[in-house]
Structure 1
């Protein structure tokens, strides 16, 4: 099936205003292919919606009201883990399309759009993978509650592309690089090689997303005459309320070009743990 939209803004809005997860995935993959094939103009005639459409399920709760997830190897605990990750990936689809459309007026190079459309496509594929695995375990996305805090970063940084890049790929996605190796190890110990392999694939591809965030953040710094490390630290301090946490996956962060000179000076020294590899 070919895309019926003619420009990038229509594609982004179509995804962001679609509530059904699998339809959001389908449209993302369709429009990403159309963009790569040169079938969409770069025009964004109207700004994206302030919030993306969401399905009736899962029930969205405040982060503090979410049930604690067990760390054991039971099917129930693994389903809860995969469901939480699927929710993150669904939000990540919308975050990628939002950054493309919301900041189009800045006239960034085409490579910027290429990168974030590809990120949207990756996140859609990741959601598909997680949903397929949930189905194999007798569940599906929407069966468990999820928290509604993920779009807060988009709202907080809607006014400034540098802030968006500093917080979403360079804090939130980088945190995924930190915690995934231990999760993969635990899944293998539990005998769930399929879920472990899936998460390893997602981790490896997320390195490229963090790299894209850092690359375009540095590009903006050059345009503004700002020093990247200092500006990143300032923006994270102003717009990210969660605080940076150890341990860091220094190896994967370095592969993304994201060195410790950025994050170590503003991370509390308490509860220092060995860095992950």
Structure 2
């Protein structure tokens, strides 16, 4: 029987986006069915396999999207969101494969379920791009998303603090405004995709927060103080308002975590 670690590694090393989505959902399904043995017999790659396109650029070299009302602006928006969800697949897979042995079966199951959700989100966004006569890879994308994972590859508490509780939580802040713009443009299909993603991301941030609280408990540390210390040490950006406090609180991320270090 295949080990859960080798199945996760194989999905991480799948470059083609469509095939990666199928592989990710298969790993999550096989784990739920008990078809993977609890064994961590391989290491996770330092970087997942990615397709040749999109071209990955530093955030400060990314071209401006253009106005949302233009065809170029719409395609740029959906392409940016598709890229975020594509990298999120690898972020969740790596979380389960890299830290699963020390964090246990519930942790692995949680993050494999997150990875399957991200694969579904990417598939929805890829189809949205195709409906606009474009495709994932047609535009450049920024290369910064994986850097946070690589920088925290030796510390589960730091990874949880930065990836779900900063990067994904930021999605809770910005998605409602994007959803309003899409609705105002009369794009009901796009609005349904964003509403689904927002609901799922609240749950994903909640999963990250739940396991971070476990880490804080094992360290006998204040969760808020530990989070602030780790974010200051490992996150290069700023924690900026406005915040979607209600969505963050629904995910277990109260203002006591982030208000003190917000800029």
User: Structure 1 length as normaliser, TM-score?
Assistant: 0.93
SS in 2 for 1:151: helix
Q: Which residue of 1 aligns with 2:141?
A: 146
Q: Which runs of 5+ in 1 are unaligned?
A: 269-277
The CA distance in 2 between the partners of 1:113 and 1:26, in whole Å, is 18
Q: Which residue of 1 aligns with 2:33?
A: 37
Aligned counterpart for 2:259 among listed residues 264, 267, 271:
264
The CA distance in 2 between the partners of 1:75 and 1:36, in whole Å, is 41
Spell out, residue by residue over 1:204-261, the C-alpha distance to the aligned partner (whole angstroms, 9 max, x if none): 1000100001000000111111110000000000000111011000111111011001
- Shift in Å, 1:265: 0.6
Point out 4+ residue stretches in structure 1 off by more than 6 angstroms: none
Q: Which residue of 1 aligns with 2:79?
A: 83
SS in 2 for 1:43: coil
Q: Do the aligned residues in 1 keep the contact of 2:97 with 2:108 (CA within 8 Å)?
A: no
Q: Do the aligned residues in 2 keep the contact of 1:15 with 1:24 (CA within 8 Å)?
A: yes
More helix by share: 2
Pairing 1:229–2:208 present: no
- Shift in Å, 1:192: 1.3
SS in 2 for 1:103: helix
Q: Which residue of 1 aligns with 2:127?
A: 132
Q: Which residue of 1 aligns with 2:13?
A: 17
- RMSD between superposed Cα atoms in Å: 1.0
Spell out, residue by residue over 1:96-134, the C-alpha distance to the aligned partner (whole angstroms, 9 max, x if none): 11111111332x232111100000000000000000111
Q: Which residue of 2 aligns with 1:113?
A: 108
Q: Which residue of 2 aligns with 1:205?
A: 200
Q: How many residues align?
A: 263
Q: Which residue of 2 aligns with 1:272?
A: none
Pairing 1:55–2:51 present: yes
Q: Do the aligned residues in 2 keep the contact of 1:73 with 1:187 (CA within 8 Å)?
A: no
Pairing 1:239–2:248 present: no
Identify the range of structure 1 (187-196 vs 66-75) with the bigger mean alpha-carbon deviation.
66-75
Spell out, residue by residue over 1:33-66, the C-alpha distance to the aligned partner (whole angstroms, 9 max, x if none): 1111111112120110000011111111111111
Q: Which residue of 2 aligns with 1:67?
A: 63
